[in-house]
Chains A and B, each alone.
Chain A
């Protein structure tokens, strides 16, 4: 930990040391950094320390190719970043740190999530989304208040799939606030993280938030395992969706019907089937790509 308490900007985020049990995990989310690993070249770390930009770039490429196996290089990359790199190498280093998924990168990426250049902030947010734990979670929550709309949306997306977030309840509260501030990406992340009560609260946004945004969010909720979201909650949400009675709703329910796991809840399945039947012929334009 650095000596300076980090002031008002980042101190709280980086000083956090609590540990709460993990209560939510992303669904269907292959980690972006989880690529087939290539062994880290033995001279990669040496080349990272080079004064030659091309050497550094080549080493960063090699570390990225190694994916998680590049983690031993993460400390060196952080050191190099701390000394300062050109904008192009800064971006490459941030992306590489994300791919290593090394906790060593947490703090550095949290700093860069506050960089003045929006491109660098977006890269840092994306990289933080690949990491794990409280520091990235706090940095991503902070980025929901970023002055840049794109950064806010990206942070809202990444936070839903973040592993090791020990403050899920607070995160969901932030995401609701973001959704109320028209950060639509927050809806899907709420769907990934919400507990039943919050999931129902999310369903309460039907008719307020555009349905295409809500569809992605409710899809996340309804396909989560029964240990996370109980049958009654899912049935309640499906009933609320059904009440909208539009062609888009019918399409959504049909899609859900087709994706429903064979071993999934029969009661929920029956509710979906009834809703599909009830909304057949509902008014409104169907999406062109919707299967007929």
Chain B
């Protein structure tokens, strides 16, 4: 028995190339033309126009509505059809070295030195081919031929491989260019590359039959709902306008640019292999489904979606507004937009179908075990509308903001901004809760307080919150957000809040800033009935204020007494202004306060003297 030898990387690359060469020798012709050349001159759409005329008018074959997942430490694939609730799931055991892809009705995956295709609906094996371990980038399928792109051994260049249903190689092309994820339509391979080209490869002879220059970052081609699409973060439709693509006039629809945490993308680059296990990029994604329209292309349902770990956001594409928020029970690792909604797969293996309009969960499926990654493909599936009314957006936002998970804080800040713009009083309640709850992340708290200060409704919720005080024995160890609520209530001229704010003036657990802002609000809303309490507080602090915040509060309370024309209070302020014991910050500001008094009403005219 000969000793086992370890293989060097160079030898591995040589073996991989040899494996693919073997595959070619067993099947179709090998093409070594000068494909994908960069000295190509734009033909102004002539060649792609001919291709469109040839194959573009017929609908692309339908794809599977299916979810598949990698499980068992990348040792199995489980799959389930989406369109049949209660359908049994299938399992296929095979070592995996990357993320499986769904191409039309086929699942393509690689591992243990081979690539294999399964029927997406059943998991049945269609064919297997050795690859020597080349990383799979992506695949397309038209129901007869599967075209796959692999990264070349060594990581430079690509291999394009077309395999028929019988497992025979139809075409193999090696190129130093980095190819993206291909599509197949009418025995033609549509291969994106260099971010801006889609070359059409005639699989019958290996020639580059056409090329189109597109004006959007493009590393993927795929068929969906009967149409062929190119793109990565946007969608370019293969229609009669494709011949004008180089002029930027192709039928195009994009997901509106919007600041989202994690800078999510609609799709990962199609020219990069995807790891078998999901990573953070899979948890921060955008989803949208393009649809053909008479004028070109649009987003299905006028919606696009964003995920951030277990937070899902639905956006109104037309008005560029957040429409709903859904909290999944576990981090989302995969999904796809569908007609009528969004299909999501979480790391527990649960699949949820959400209503596009409301975000309500309308159906759930279970893959039966935690998943390492998940791929969802939607073609004709339509998510039915929600049966039950969803919570108002403000309530949904409130739920999301309350979630106690440090990893969600970045998204929660964004949602807090959304909450701040809501006119719904529920939003005020939610902000009060967020700013009051000791479990609220310190990273979120300042934003919650700022948003609360700017509210102009929800006074009742604020008054209820002001009724709470620090209470050691009752384990209430955090004062409510008095300062922000005082700002808001003062701006709203909510006179009913005055006694509540006064109670906080006397609460030693409140911060100096809270006291300062409560006093400022009282200058706006205090009425005669609270004058004695204000005089009491003024007397207690005008000479003992320990800092400028409390001294500023002293001045505000003096202002309140002057505004309400409280004679004993004004006398007290005058005495304080004259007394050197009054803290300097306050004393130097009391004179202007006293000077702001309205002039006394003129005395009534004395009775004219009788002559």
Residues of A within 8 A of B (CB): 2-10, 51, 53, 81-87, 89-90, 111-112, 114-118, 120-121, 144-148, 152, 174, 177-178, 181
Beyond A121-B508, A145-B473, A147-B509, whether A5 also contacts B546 by CB under 8 A is: no
A253 to B504, CA, bound (A): 48
Report yes or no: A111 in contact with B530, Cβ–Cβ below 8 A: no
Shortest 5 CB-CB distances between A and B: which pairs? A7-B503, A8-B503, A9-B503, A4-B533, A84-B539
Give the residues in chain B near A118, CB-CB below 8 Å. Answer: 508
Give the residues in chain B near A117, CB-CB below 8 Å. Answer: 544, 546
User: In the complex, which residue of chain B has the Cβ closest to the Cβ of A107?
Assistant: B536
A8 to B550, CA, bound (A): 21
A84 to B542, CA, bound (A): 6
- Residue among B467, B509, B515 with max Cβ neighbours from chain A (10 Å): B509
A188 to B157, CA, bound (A): 83
B529 to chain A minimum Cβ distance, whole angstroms, is: 6
A-contact 0/1 string along B528-541, CB 8 Å cutoff: 01111101101111
A83 to B577, CA, bound (A): 12
B26 to chain A minimum Cβ distance, whole angstroms, is: 80
Report yes or no: B541 in contact with A84, Cβ–Cβ below 8 A: yes
Give the residues in chain A near B538, CB-CB below 8 Å. Answer: 84
Report yes or no: B499 in contact with A7, Cβ–Cβ below 8 A: yes
Residues of B within 8 A of A (CB): 467, 469-474, 499-500, 502-504, 506-509, 512, 515, 529-533, 535-536, 538-544, 546, 550, 572, 575-576, 579, 581-582
Q: Can you list 10 A-B pairs with a CB-CB distance of less than 8 A?
A: A7-B499, A7-B502, A8-B503, A84-B542, A87-B543, A116-B512, A116-B541, A144-B472, A145-B472, A147-B470
A8 to B512, CA, bound (A): 19
User: In the complex, which residue of chain B has the Cβ closest to the Cβ of A116?
Assistant: B508
A5 to B470, CA, bound (A): 20
Give the residues in chain A near B467, CB-CB below 8 Å. Answer: 8
A81 to B509, CA, bound (A): 22
Give the residues in chain B near A3, CB-CB below 8 Å. Answer: 529, 531-532
B545 to chain A minimum Cβ distance, whole angstroms, is: 9
Report yes or no: B546 in contact with A84, Cβ–Cβ below 8 A: no
Beyond A2-B533, A111-B506, whether A85 also contacts B499 by CB under 8 A is: no
Beyond A83-B572, A90-B543, whether A145 also contacts B502 by CB under 8 A is: no
Tell me which of A9, A112, A145 contacts B474 (CB under 8 A).
Answer: A145
Main SS class of interface, B: helix
Beyond A4-B532, A117-B546, A145-B474, whether A85 also contacts B508 by CB under 8 A is: no
Give the residues in chain A near B532, CB-CB below 8 Å. Answer: 2-4
Give the residues in chain B near A53, CB-CB below 8 Å. Answer: 581
Report yes or no: A4 in contact with B531, Cβ–Cβ below 8 A: yes
Give the residues in chain B near A82, CB-CB below 8 Å. Answer: 535-536, 539
Report yes or no: B539 in contact with A144, Cβ–Cβ below 8 A: no
A145 to chain B minimum Cβ distance, whole angstroms, is: 4
A2 to B506, CA, bound (A): 16
Tell me which of A5, A114, A152 contacts B507 (CB under 8 A).
Answer: A114
User: In the complex, which residue of chain B has the Cβ closest to the Cβ of A147?
Assistant: B509
Report yes or no: A85 in contact with B543, Cβ–Cβ below 8 A: yes
A200 to B582, CA, bound (A): 53
Report yes or no: B503 in contact with A178, Cβ–Cβ below 8 A: no
A51 to B503, CA, bound (A): 31
Give the residues in chain B near A87, CB-CB below 8 Å. Answer: 543-544
A95 to chain B minimum Cβ distance, whole angstroms, is: 15
Report yes or no: A144 in contact with B473, Cβ–Cβ below 8 A: yes
A90 to B581, CA, bound (A): 11
Report yes or no: A84 in contact with B544, Cβ–Cβ below 8 A: yes
A148 to B540, CA, bound (A): 19
A112 to B536, CA, bound (A): 10
A278 to B512, CA, bound (A): 58
A212 to B500, CA, bound (A): 42
User: In the complex, which residue of chain B has the Cβ closest to the Cβ of A56?
Assistant: B581
Give the residues in chain A near B544, CB-CB below 8 Å. Answer: 84-87, 90, 115, 117, 120
Give the residues in chain A near B512, CB-CB below 8 Å. Answer: 116
User: In the complex, which residue of chain B has the Cβ closest to the Cβ of A53?
Assistant: B581
Tell me which of A116, A145, A177 contacts B515 (CB under 8 A).
Answer: A116
Give the residues in chain B near A90, CB-CB below 8 Å. Answer: 543-544
B515 to chain A minimum Cβ distance, whole angstroms, is: 7
A111 to B537, CA, bound (A): 9
User: In the complex, which residue of chain B has the Cβ closest to the Cβ of A141?
Assistant: B473
Report yes or no: B508 in contact with A5, Cβ–Cβ below 8 A: no
Report yes or no: B500 in contact with A7, Cβ–Cβ below 8 A: yes
- Residue among B507, B530, B550, B581 with max Cβ neighbours from chain A (10 Å): B581
Tell me which of A2, A85, A144 contacts B536 (CB under 8 A).
Answer: A2
Report yes or no: A8 in contact with B543, Cβ–Cβ below 8 A: no
A16 to chain B minimum Cβ distance, whole angstroms, is: 17
- Residue among A9, A86, A90, A181 with max Cβ neighbours from chain B (10 Å): A9
Report yes or no: A174 in contact with B473, Cβ–Cβ below 8 A: yes
B550 to chain A minimum Cβ distance, whole angstroms, is: 7
Report yes or no: A147 in contact with B508, Cβ–Cβ below 8 A: yes
Report yes or no: A6 in contact with B533, Cβ–Cβ below 8 A: yes
A178 to B472, CA, bound (A): 9
Report yes or no: B472 in contact with A83, Cβ–Cβ below 8 A: no
Give the residues in chain B near A178, CB-CB below 8 Å. Answer: 473
Give the residues in chain A near B542, CB-CB below 8 Å. Answer: 84
A34 to B70, CA, bound (A): 83
A114 to B469, CA, bound (A): 13
Report yes or no: B470 in contact with A9, Cβ–Cβ below 8 A: no
Beyond A6-B533, A116-B515, whether A86 also contacts B471 by CB under 8 A is: no
Give the residues in chain B near A152, CB-CB below 8 Å. Answer: 472
Tell me which of A9, A89, A146 contacts B506 (CB under 8 A).
Answer: A9
Tell me which of A4, A84, A121, A147 contacts B530 (CB under 8 A).
Answer: A4
User: In the complex, which residue of chain B has the Cβ closest to the Cβ of A87?
Assistant: B544
- Residue among B467, B500, B512, B540 with max Cβ neighbours from chain A (10 Å): B540
Report yes or no: B581 in contact with A84, Cβ–Cβ below 8 A: yes
Beyond A84-B582, A145-B472, A177-B473, whether A7 also contacts B533 by CB under 8 A is: yes
A114 to B542, CA, bound (A): 16
A167 to chain B minimum Cβ distance, whole angstroms, is: 16
User: In the complex, which residue of chain B has the Cβ closest to the Cβ of A108?
Assistant: B536
Report yes or no: A9 in contact with B469, Cβ–Cβ below 8 A: yes
A11 to chain B minimum Cβ distance, whole angstroms, is: 8
B320 to chain A minimum Cβ distance, whole angstroms, is: 44
A84 to B550, CA, bound (A): 14
Tell me which of A4, A10, A115, A145 contacts B471 (CB under 8 A).
Answer: A145
B499 to chain A minimum Cβ distance, whole angstroms, is: 4
Report yes or no: A10 in contact with B506, Cβ–Cβ below 8 A: yes
